[in-house]
Amino acid sequence: MQDDAGWVQRAIALSAESRAQGNHPFASLVVAADGEILAQAFNAHRIDCTCHAEMNAVRLASAKLPASALRTATLYSSAEPCAMCAGGIYWSGIGRVAYALSEARLLTITGNHPENPTLSLPCREVLARGQRPIEVIGPMFEDAAAAVHAGFWD
């Protein structure tokens, strides 16, 4: 049985750690159905603009296991995966996504900040266009996830 709430809360805690290390306040982890952590990652925008936390976690998990083995894994994120990250999740084979902060709520926090030009495209819409189903859970714990961003985008 997946502990979605517990893993999403862990992603939120990791996002605070990401911020403390000077990164954008986002974090993600990939967890196997048996509870093994396959990958965890922060946002690394200073290295590469495509190094969102979700993409970094997908890359790490995909290096360990093939897509067929990732079908029962879940990607947990402190914020809803953007369209780019949703595409990466799809191509990786990961079968489930659970997130805290919605893209819509994130936009109210970041506004038009040049380092986070939010795409107004929910991950559910991106993932629904694929040829295989991906379960999406969220948003959850939005207030806690939003608190990590307080003052960051000012």
Q: Which residue, 59, 39, 37, 38, is CA-closest to 47?
A: 59
Helix or strand or coil: residue 101?
strand
Catalytic positions: 54
Q: Are 148 and 24 in contact (CB under 8 A)?
A: no
Question: How buried is 60 (Cβ within 10 angstroms: 0-12 exposed, 13-18 middle, 19+ buried)?
Answer: middle
Question: At residue 136, what is the residue type?
Answer: V
Q: Is the dihedral of CA 134, 135, 139, 144 positive or negative?
A: negative
